[in-house]
Amino acid sequence: MPTPYGNAYIRSVGRFVPAGRLTNQDLEKMVDTSDEWIRARTGIRERRILEPGLGNSYMAIRAARECLERADVNPIDLDAIIVGTVTPDTPFASTAGLVQQALGARRAWGFDLSSACSGFIFSLTVGAQMIESGRSQKVLVIGSDVMSSVVDYADRNTCVLFGDGAGAVLLERVPEAGYGILDFVHRVDGSGAEFLNIKAGGSRMPASIETVKNKLHFVFQDGRQVYKRAVTEMANVSLQVLANNHLNGKDLALFVPHQANLRIIEACAARLAIGMDRVVVNIDRYANTNGATIPLCLYDICVEQPRVNKGDYLLMSAFGAGFSWGSILLRWWQ
Ligand code: UT7
């Protein structure tokens, strides 16, 4: 649907991944697992781990700086900063505020958006609508998570899955009609909360000696339940957003999925009838970085190995805790 002030588009990207690598071989020494199991079941070979003592903002700030430098944009010109994360430096103040201060983005307002693995695409949609409303000209959207801070490295069910990282994009109004962020379909279903969560540390069960002793501050996941819903729902919303725009899988230049499991990605691609040569995958290098997976993929296709061109249709899709999920359709400009 055309918007009165024009669509938002992704003008620039930036990223930060920590130097520290945790390989499958390292994990073999920590829990009862194997490189073979991890690669076959998930597609992951290694993940990056942030140095202890450095919080989420450390990564988010670095991704943001690179993003703005690439576009030669002065932070003072930012209208807003949105950070999709579930691992802020502290429950509050927001990571967005810490980024604002570090950048010197004195005109900007901002906030953190908590929706687990859907945090980036939901943030991107909010940022895009701020541009479309005509009230904002430059919105910085960041996906950043320090999953190593909430993972139990004695639990083989979860510790092999996650990594740390941050990605940032700069949104502006697209100069030409028919391009930029075109449409989205997003959903949330709280009946999935029991299958993927962190039980303690919130208002219902604040931190106590008991919660720490019982390891209730770590990620819990019923992998099979999440897997089934992820495959179905990511494909459903992807097909829906394509159909709403009279497109199908053949029209897509690239599918940019959340990186939780290579098998989920392959199953979604098959339902969309997209060959894996048109699917962006970096789970082997970074694992599941939660809010950062999609901007890290965008960085790969824009900077590391550029493979996106003006006019290309891209579809992003994510599924995560909540359950929450969604897809965004965009047409690349520049
Ligand atoms: O990003 C947020 C959304 N999250 C997701 O989308 C993740 C969705 N879930 C998954 O990706 C998969 O369910 C997992 C990768 C988490 C697990 O793969 P799976 O094929 O569903 O395995 P499973 O949970 O059914 O476990 C199979 C077996 C079990 O042993 P038994 O009960 O069959 O004897 C597990 O105990 O594999 C065992 N297992 C492991 N073995 C070696 C679980 N984790 C490991 C491990 N190494 N790390």
Is residue 41 within 6 Å of ligand 1 at its C-beta? yes
Quick check: 3 pLDDT over 80?
A: no
d(CA 308, CA 303): 10
pLDDT in tens, 144-196: 999 999 999 999 999 999 999 999 999 999 999 999 999 999 999 999 999 99
Mean pLDDT, the chain, rounded, equals 97
**What is the CA(270)–ligand 1 centre distance, in A?**
21
Is residue 320 within 6 Å of ligand 1 at its C-beta? yes
Q: What pLDDT does residue 42 have?
A: 98
Q: Are the C-beta atoms of residues 254 and 280 closer than 8 Å to each other?
A: yes
pLDDT class of 219 with cuts at 50, 70, 90: very high
Minimum CA distance residue for ligand 1 atom 42: 33
Q: Is 288 a catalytic residue?
A: yes
Is residue 260 within 6 Å of ligand 1 at its C-beta? yes
HEC string of 144-204 equals EEEHHHCCCCCCHHHHCCECEEEEEEEEEECCCCCCEEEEEEEEECHHHHHHEEECCCCCC
Residue type, 152: D
Residues of the chain with pLDDT > 70, as a percent, come to: 99
Bridge partners of residue 198, in order along the sequence:
219
Q: With left for phi above 0 and alpha for psi between -120 and 50, is residue 212 left, alpha or beta?
A: alpha
Contacts of 270 (CB under 8 A, 6+ apart): none
Number of Cβ atoms within 10 Å of the Cβ of 133 = 11
Minimum CA distance residue for ligand 1 atom 21: 224
Could you tell me the domains of the chain? Answer: 8-173 (3.40.47.10), 180-331 (3.40.47.10)
pLDDT class of 1 with cuts at 50, 70, 90: low
Quick check: 204 pLDDT over 80?
A: yes
Query: Which one of the listed residues 7, 282, 288, 290 is annotated catalytic?
Result: 288
d(CA 11, CA 131): 13
Q: Is 302 a catalytic residue?
A: no
Tokens 């950070």, located at residue: 83
Quick check: 4 pLDDT over 80?
A: no
Residues of the chain with pLDDT > 90, as a percent, come to: 98
pLDDT class of 334 with cuts at 50, 70, 90: confident
d(CA 165, CA 133): 31
Task: Please state, in angstroms and as integers, the Cα–Cα distance from residue 198 to each residue in 73, 121, 152, following that order.
Answer: 38, 21, 11
Bridge partners of residue 95, in order along the sequence:
none
DSSP code per residue over 212-250: HHTTTTSEEE-HHHHHHHHHHHHHHHHHHHHHHTT--GG
Give the pair of three-digit tokens for residue 270. Answer: 């098959």
CA-derived radius of gyration, the chain: 19
Is residue 264 within 6 Å of ligand 1 at its C-beta? yes
Judging by beta carbons within 10 Å of its beta carbon (0-12, 13-18, 19+), is residue 154 exposed, middle or buried?
Answer: exposed
Quick check: 5 pLDDT over 90?
A: no
pTM, two decimals, is 0.97
Residue 279 DSSP one-character state = B
Pairing of strands 164-173, 8-16: antiparallel
Query: Which one of the listed residues 67, 117, 268, 302 is annotated catalytic?
Result: 117
Quick check: 331 pLDDT over 90?
A: yes
**What is the CA(197)–ligand 1 centre distance, in A?**
16
**What is the CA(309)–ligand 1 centre distance, in A?**
37
**What is the CA(195)–ligand 1 centre distance, in A?**
13
Query: Which one of the listed residues 7, 56, 258, 268 is annotated catalytic?
Result: 258
**What is the CA(93)–ligand 1 centre distance, in A?**
35
pLDDT in tens, 67-82: 999 999 999 999 999 9
Q: Is 117 a catalytic residue?
A: yes
How would you label 289-314 residue by residue, b for 16+ Cβ within 10 Å and e otherwise?
bbbbbbbbbbbbbbeeeeebeeebbb
Quick check: 93 pLDDT over 80?
A: yes
Minimum CA distance residue for ligand 1 atom 38: 157
Half-sphere exposure in the Cβ direction for 35 (13 Å, CA): 9
Quick check: 2 pLDDT over 70?
A: no
Is residue 42 within 6 Å of ligand 1 at its C-beta? yes
Q: Which sign does the torsion angle of CA 237, 299, 309, 269 carry?
A: negative
Quick check: 92 pLDDT over 70?
A: yes
